[in-house]
Amino acid sequence: MQLLYQTHSPYARKALVFAHEAGLGARIEVLHHETSPTLRNEAVYAANPLGKVPVLLRPGQPALFDSDVICAYLDTLHEGRKLIPETGEARWHALRVQAVAQGLGDAGIKVRWETVRRPEALRYPALRDGYIEKLLESYDWLERELDTEAAVHVGHIAVATALSWLEFRELPDFHAGRPRLSAWYRAFCERPSMRATPLSGETHD
């Protein structure tokens, strides 16, 4: 399999960290591709009509895209403990945490559009502040709700990769006043899956 990837994408990193946690890292060739809404990448569009990474290319089968879908597929390929719980409240909690993590990445990207990516004359401070509020509220929710003592699941992977990207891009801090979340995050970043997939590079528009 091949993973169309971007070294500064929280979503692509989530899929690759999941692959490592599932013991599938050696089965995936990682191919870096730069993409943004203003930079068309023909190779990515050929596999994903949204023109975004991550995309998982499977020999003889259709491409899979969106990190949630890729993770769900990868979880069917290994014999170990499932990283997406299959039943009960454990499943819904993991998926709920994953949804919050997805929102963190989405909100952070929108903050960057209104601070560094959009031409200054076109930036909208009120929109920036609204998305910052979403980040702060989500940090507080994770401080209360994240199951930090549970076995690793997809929600943990999604949160760790989202928070690492927010930290990488120097977006609003999640450490101050959130000791439980901060301690869990620092410990998770020491896992081999995270250490094998460092963030790097700048967005090209």
pLDDT band at 203, cuts 50/70/90?
confident
Q: Which CATH architecture has domain 88-195?
A: Up-down Bundle (1.20)
pLDDT band at 69, cuts 50/70/90?
very high
Mean pLDDT of 179-190: 98
Domain boundaries of the chain, sorted by first residue: 2-74, 88-195
Is there a common fold for 2-74 and 88-195?
Answer: no
Mean pLDDT of 89-110: 98
Distance CA 40, CA 43 (A): 9
Mean pLDDT of 186-205: 95
Distance CA 1, CA 203 (A): 26
pTM confidence score: 0.97
Q: Is 114 left (phi over 0), alpha (psi -120 to 50) or beta?
A: alpha
Mean pLDDT of 107-127: 97
Distances (CA, A) of 110 to 39, 150, 177: 17, 31, 24
Distance CA 42, CA 21 (A): 30
Asked whether residue 204 carries a pLDDT value surpassing 90, the answer given is no
* pLDDT single digits (tens) 123-180: 999 999 999 999 999 999 999 999 999 999 999 999 999 999 999 999 999 999 999 9
* pLDDT single digits (tens) 75-84: 999 999 999 9
Asked whether residue 205 carries a pLDDT value surpassing 90, the answer given is no
Provide CATH code, domain 2-74. Answer: 3.40.30.10
Instruction: Count CB neighbours of 84 within 10 A.
Output: 20
* pLDDT single digits (tens) 5-61: 999 999 999 999 999 999 999 999 999 999 999 989 999 999 999 999 999 999 999
